[in-house]
Amino acid sequence: MDCSESSNEEDFQIVHVEVMQFIVVFYVIHCRPVISIDATHLYGKYKGKLLIAMATDGIVIQSCFDDTTRGYLQPPLTHHRYCLRHLVSNVNTNFNSVPLKNLVWNAATANQVRKFENTMDCIKNVNPAAYNYLKEVNQEKWTLVHDHGHRYGAMTTNLSECFNGVLKGARSLPITAMVKFTFYKVNSYFDERRNKTLEKLEEGQVWCKYAYDNFEENQEKAKLHIVRRMSAQQRLYTVETQSSLLNTGGGDHTHRVSLIDMTCTCGKWEANKIPCSHLIAVCAKHNHDATEYMDHFYRLEERYHSYEPIFQPLKDRLEWPEPAERRTVMPNQRLIREKGRPKSTRIRNEMDDEDRELPTSLWIENGPKLKCGLCRQEGHNRRTCPTRNVASTSHGAM
């Protein structure tokens, strides 16, 4: 616990909690080496933030602490990436364009250099200033095609966002009660997922559902591919795909597969660590087991080991050891919440809009327009609606 000293008293600043079960699971490497970090606001008497760090398979690495001092969290010496939702939100805030937001998303998630550059050209034509803005951002930090597989396909901090929702009931509690709530909540997660994973292993399942569903989908596509071996010694192949009648521009491409380098020019194998359809086609023709090229983190056995550590029951307070040093910590008066009803639900913003799902052709003049969910008018959303305050006042009258 960190405190700031002022004259004869100490003000509370931060409490940092680590549970050994989380640390062991991550450093023994039973889950993918990707950490997602996100903060959520507290709702209690004092303002603050609950900062959650999670591995991509749902293992909480560090638990809650009040992030009131910015210099506390030091980035580890590893590869760092930006959350795409936040980057797209910044673009939308600066340039206020839903079609542009969609193009930025498509550029970031492109798995081939050709697709990325084509989308960036579209962005340059639509808004040169936005294009220059993106060019100043390190491409390794926000694009999938320049990531070299470090993200494992995770483009956002949605996992942390989801767990923030799970801990919503804890965010209005005092610090000690919040830590206790989080401890028992995570324990129930471990116990439930440990039992479910063990059942699947006993049924003979080997891979997690996400990975195997992707594998089976790619397996169906592979049946239509044409494979040619270029070198048996270098284990090098070319794979031709058939034209797609359902997807305009899909198919009718040639990709290079190298089993030695473990690469395919489609980019999907390297990004997600799951065999792409081109690799599966090569393995099928030459009687190789394509699942050998699936990342071992997708095995149910690894998932079981992720949830294997057992949480021991907390001791009664009378059995707690005496601390070596006693300090009187005062509440931080600067963090007292203003008078009035506190907010318990986050106001939706442009990151929550589902406009991103619309096609990139939205920048065409005759495409569908964004409409407000309150007044149904074009040009703004619920968050920026000019009638919002009027509507809330009228509903409050009796």
The residue with greater pLDDT, 178 or 236, is 236
Sheet holding 60-62, edge to edge: 35-41, 49-55, 60-62
CA–CA separation, 180 and 63 (whole Å) = 11
Per-residue pLDDT at 322: 84
Per-residue pLDDT at 186: 84
Beta strands in the chain (DSSP E): 2-6, 9-14, 35-41, 49-55, 60-62, 226-231, 236-240, 254-258, 263-264, 329-330
CA–CA separation, 47 and 136 (whole Å) = 35
pLDDT tens-place string over residues 220-274: 999 999 999 999 999 999 999 987 665 555 668 899 999 999 999 999 999 889 9
Highest mean pLDDT among 16-20, 195-199, 340-344: 195-199
Distance of CA 355 to the CA centre of its chain: 19
Measure CA of the first residue to CA of the last residue in the chain; give whole Å: 48
Whether residue 378 is predicted with pLDDT greater than 70 in this model: the reply is: yes
Whether residue 2 is predicted with pLDDT greater than 60 in this model: the reply is: no
The residue with greater pLDDT, 128 or 382, is 128
Banded model confidence at residue 345, pLDDT cuts 50, 70, 90: low
Banded model confidence at residue 387, pLDDT cuts 50, 70, 90: confident
Sheet holding 9-14, edge to edge: 2-6, 9-14, 329-330
**Which pairs with CB-CB distance under 8 Å and at least 24 residues apart come from 218-227?**
218/274, 218/275, 218/276, 218/277, 218/280, 219/277, 219/280, 219/290, 221/277, 222/277, 222/278, 222/280, 222/281, 222/284, 223/281, 225/277, 225/278, 225/281, 227/281, 227/282, 227/285
pLDDT tens-place string over residues 58-106: 333 333 434 443 444 565 667 788 888 889 989 988 998 888 999 999 9
Whether residue 331 is predicted with pLDDT greater than 70 in this model: the reply is: yes
pLDDT tens-place string over residues 347-361: 565 555 544 444 433
Per-residue pLDDT at 327: 76
Per-residue pLDDT at 118: 94
Structure tokens at 122: 């579209």
Per-residue pLDDT at 50: 80
Whether the Cβ atoms of residue 368 and residue 49 lie closer than 8 Å to each other: no
CA distances to 214, 226, 265, 279 from 223, in Å: 15, 8, 19, 11
Mean pLDDT for the stretch of residues 51-58: 65
The residue with greater pLDDT, 224 or 165, is 224
Query: What's the mean per-residue pLDDT of the chain?
Result: 79
CA–CA separation, 392 and 398 (whole Å) = 12
Q: What is the CA radius of gyration of the chain?
A: 25
Per-residue pLDDT at 249: 57
pLDDT tens-place string over residues 179-209: 888 888 888 888 998 999 999 999 999 999 9
Structure tokens at 34: 């990707």
Whether the Cβ atoms of residue 330 and residue 10 lie closer than 8 Å to each other: yes
Sheet holding 263-264, edge to edge: 226-231, 236-240, 254-258, 263-264
Instruction: Provide the 10 A C-beta neighbour count for residue 281.
Output: 27
Per-residue pLDDT at 277: 96
Q: How many CA atoms lie within 13 A of 142 on its CB side?
A: 21
Q: Whats the size of the chain, residue-wise?
A: 398
Per-residue pLDDT at 347: 57
Whether the Cβ atoms of residue 49 and residue 69 lie closer than 8 Å to each other: no
Structure tokens at 23: 């640390």
Per-residue pLDDT at 63: 37
Helix (H, G, I), strand (E, B) or coil at 226: strand
If you count DSSP H runs as helices and E runs as strands, how many of each does the chain have, helices first?
A: 13, 10
